[in-house]
Amino acid sequence: MIGKVLQGRYQIVQNLGAGVFGQTYIAIDIDYPGNPKCVVKQLKVSSSHSSYLDTLRLRFLTETETLKRLGSHHQIPEFIACFEEHERFYLVQECIEGHALTAELPIKQGWGSLWDESEVIKFLKDVLTILEFVHSQGVIHCDIKPENLVRRACDGKLVLIDFGSIQPIDFGIDAELPIYKIPVTSLGYIPPEQFIGQTQPNSDIYALGMIAIQALTGMEPLQLKIDPYTNEMVWRSQNTPIGDYLAAVLSQMIRYDWQNRFQSVGEVLRVLKHMEWEKPQQIVEVPYQLSLEVTVEDDNSHQYPVSGKSSPLLTGMKVGLAANSLLMGFSVYSLVNSSPAYSETETLYKATEEYQSGDLQEAIALVKSISSQSNVYPEAQATIEEWQQQWQLAAQQYQLAETASNEGRWSDVLRVAPKVPDILYWQSKTDKLVQQAHAKIEAQTQDLLAKAYESAGGRDFSTALAYLRQIPQESSAGALVQKKLAEYHEKRQIRAAYFLHRAYKQASISDFNGAVQFLGKIPKDTPVYAQAQVKLNEYTQKQRLLAKSEKMGLRTVSSTQRKSSLVSNNSATRMEKLRVGSNLQEVNIR
């Protein structure tokens, strides 16, 4: 391959070796000023069978679309091009000048420089920010290791490379995709669940935690011992330069069971951020079930909120808090000696009961019976006015909810219901409407989901999307609907790109009828639709010209046949006349 020019543009100058994706090369762009370097990856092809190539081609289109999105991040190589040449698939990406993280890590204890806590935290935040973007695109990297983190020479930033192991996306084809073996260099960084095909987003978190531990200890992952009872890594020693807080974070990142790890990159980032507020002198154990607001004061008397509810990840982790700043939020009630007489208090309580039960007039009558000399009289009079306003508002909002229910506008019922004031009488009436609305919405959701699944099963992702968009936002399946919307949208784009590719292929062999049929399958709201319409007009014209030329050819053949037949008939007539003449002459002679 050295010296070979692909697409008449990318000249291979160096072999970087084989990886999960396939063979990787350094190339120069001979069409671009300065001939900049780029990375060219050749996808593995293990068969030349047409069905296998079609499957691989579709996978290639899928992954390159993903890489285009990922390449928009400034710490991920930019996507340049992808193409197929001689039944081989190539991907071209930005070449990152710099060195792999392996050059910065201590290989083993006693050699090199172990990282300190601040360096590890900075490293974690940098890479976690990249992974947060990667996961937001619906992709799991699956091969986080020092070799795939490059320190860019121009700005010193870490760049995440080699997305050849990204978890395959189920794009709805029946053929099985090739399964690649795990590289030897990845062993130790890959979590247990990934070996059995149950990769999770926090599988990347495990790998990153192992790199951080390697930086702190100088021990490679395969050199660490495993607790035979818990299967957890035993990595921390007395010589490890790290505090209890960060040690707990790292241990949480590499838990054997993925369900016991941090569940998202965002959770790890939030916990690391809490470390900025830690007071190492005083340690308080904060269980994840705790839900209260606390504050931590620093030396400059700045207060930072720390919510136990917002940080369930602090399970088993030690959080430094200033004990004297823990605010429990006690409510204080003052007892006034000049409290109202029991009978007047009882009257007001009884009026409130009547109001809540639905008898506004009786409630007002009871309040009005309170003497003007009473201590609660001013409050009682203000209560009458408030009750009248709240009652009127409740009646209006309930009427709106009831009308929406009668008309089958279930989402409107749920939107109006919270606006009904907190009056037991009206709340109970509204609750019945809400329960009915929820039941109707859930039934409607199941029906629309079934239709969406059926359409998606038939590869009609446009119709499936249309059904999903009809599902009310208030449905309990909201998370599933959003997931399926993203999935079917992706699949529809992939199929559109696939149909366009097939149209090109049919047109290349002058099968314009087939090409037009493929183009007609491309939905309107897909990125390639405009391009497909241009090609549709082009192929339709070529289709007409081809049909016209074939028709003209048939006419020419028919005319030639008629002329040939006429000549044959004339010749036969002349021969017949000659024969007759000869016979007559013979008769006369005789």
Interval 155-189: pLDDT, tens:
999 999 887 666 543 333 333 333 345 566 678 89
| Averaged pLDDT for residues 130-157 | 91
Instruction: Measure the CA–CA gap between 256 and 191, rounded to whole angstroms.
Output: 7
Instruction: Measure the CA–CA gap between 336 and 257, rounded to whole angstroms.
Output: 58
- Work out whether the CA dihedral 115, 117, 118, 121 comes out positive or negative: positive
Q: Residue 67: pLDDT above 80? A: yes
Contacts of 526 (CB under 8 A, 6+ apart): 492, 493, 496
Instruction: Measure the CA–CA gap between 82 and 60, rounded to whole angstroms.
Output: 9
Q: Which of 47-56, 126-135, 187-196, 484-493 has the highest mean pLDDT?
A: 126-135
Q: Which amino acids are annotated catalytic?
A: 143
What was the pLDDT predicted at 342?
A: 45
Q: Which of 124-138, 300-314, 318-332 has the highest mean pLDDT?
A: 124-138
Helix, strand or coil, per DSSP, at residue 15: strand
477 falls in which pLDDT band (50, 70, 90)? confident
Residue range 338-385, pLDDT digits in tens: 344 446 777 877 888 888 888 999 989 888 888 877 766 777 778 888
Instruction: Measure the CA–CA gap between 95 and 89, rounded to whole angstroms.
Output: 19
What was the pLDDT predicted at 401?
A: 92
Q: Residue 150: pLDDT above 50? A: yes
510 falls in which pLDDT band (50, 70, 90)? confident
What was the pLDDT predicted at 142?
A: 86
Q: Retrieve residue 242's tokens.
A: 């790290």
Angle subtended at Cα 251 by Cα 99 and Cα 271, rounded to the nearest 5 degrees: 85
Identify the CA nearest to 527 among candidates 562, 499, 505, 553.
499
Q: Residue 282: pLDDT above 50? A: no
Q: What is the 3-state secondary structure (H, E, C) of 353-365?
A: HHHHHCCHHHHHH
Phi, then psi, of 216 in degrees rounded to 5 = -80, -35
DSSP conformation class of 180: P
DSSP conformation class of 85: E
403 falls in which pLDDT band (50, 70, 90)? very high
Identify the CA nearest to 360 among candidates 282, 421, 314, 308.
421
What was the pLDDT predicted at 280?
A: 46
Q: Retrieve residue 104's tokens.
A: 């910065």
- R_g of the chain, CA atoms, integer Å: 39
123 falls in which pLDDT band (50, 70, 90)? very high
The tokens 């004031």 sit on which residue?
A: 421
Question: Quick one: which H or E segment has residue 429?
Answer: helix 424-457
Between residues 391 and 543, the one the model is more confident about: 391
* DSSP for 376-411, written as a single string: THHHHHHHHHHHHHHHHHHHHHHHHHHHHHHTT-HH
What was the pLDDT predicted at 318?
A: 31
Phi, then psi, of 11 in degrees rounded to 5 = -95, 120
How big is the chain, counted in residues? 590
Residue range 21-59, pLDDT digits in tens: 678 899 999 988 889 999 998 887 766 677 767 777 777
Q: Residue 310: pLDDT above 50? A: no
| Averaged pLDDT for residues 390-398 | 92
| Averaged pLDDT for residues 124-136 | 94
333 falls in which pLDDT band (50, 70, 90)? very low
Q: Retrieve residue 482's tokens.
A: 């959003």
Instruction: Measure the CA–CA gap between 508 and 515, rounded to whole angstroms.
Output: 9
> Which percentage of the chain shows pLDDT scores above 90?
27
Q: Residue 295: pLDDT above 70? A: no
What was the pLDDT predicted at 397?
A: 93
Whether the Cβ atoms of residue 541 and residue 534 lie closer than 8 Å to each other: no
Helix, strand or coil, per DSSP, at residue 12: strand
What was the pLDDT predicted at 12?
A: 92
What was the pLDDT predicted at 120?
A: 93
Instruction: Measure the CA–CA gap between 109 and 130, rounded to whole angstroms.
Output: 29
Contacts of 1 (CB under 8 A, 6+ apart): 12, 15, 23, 25
What was the pLDDT predicted at 371?
A: 80
Q: Residue 564: pLDDT above 80? A: no
| Half-sphere exposure at residue 371, Cβ-oriented, CA atoms within 13 angstroms | 8
Residue range 199-239, pLDDT digits in tens: 888 999 999 999 999 999 888 898 888 888 888 999 987 67
CB atoms inside a 10 Å sphere around CB 356: 16
Q: Residue 587: pLDDT above 80? A: no
| Averaged pLDDT for residues 306-321 | 33
| Half-sphere exposure at residue 230, Cβ-oriented, CA atoms within 13 angstroms | 10
Residue 41 is labelled as binding a ligand:
yes
Residue range 521-531, pLDDT digits in tens: 899 888 889 99
What was the pLDDT predicted at 19?
A: 62
CB atoms inside a 10 Å sphere around CB 2: 9
Residue range 418-447, pLDDT digits in tens: 999 888 899 889 989 999 988 999 998 999
What was the pLDDT predicted at 17?
A: 77
What's at 511, amino acid-wise? Answer: D
Contacts of 369 (CB under 8 A, 6+ apart): 347
Q: Residue 73: pLDDT above 80? A: yes
What was the pLDDT predicted at 338?
A: 39
What does pTM read for this prediction? 0.48
**Structural domains in the chain?**
1-95 (3.30.200.20), 98-277 (1.10.510.10)
Helix, strand or coil, per DSSP, at residue 41: strand
* DSSP for 212-248, written as a single string: HHHHHH---GGGSEE-TTT--EE---TT----HHHHH
Q: Retrieve residue 402's tokens.
A: 């009831």
What was the pLDDT predicted at 558?
A: 54
Identify the CA nearest to 77 among candidates 141, 159, 197.
159
Q: Retrieve residue 205's tokens.
A: 């978190």
Q: What is the 3-state secondary structure (H, E, C) of 278-337?
A: CCCCCEEECCCCCCCEEEEECCCCCEEEEECCCCHHHCCCEEECCHHHCCCCCCCCCCCC
The overall average pLDDT reported for the chain is 77
The tokens 């020419």 sit on which residue?
A: 556
Instruction: Measure the CA–CA gap between 19 and 51, rounded to whole angstroms.
Output: 24
Q: At what angle do helices 202-217 and 265-274 cross, to 10 degrees?
A: 40
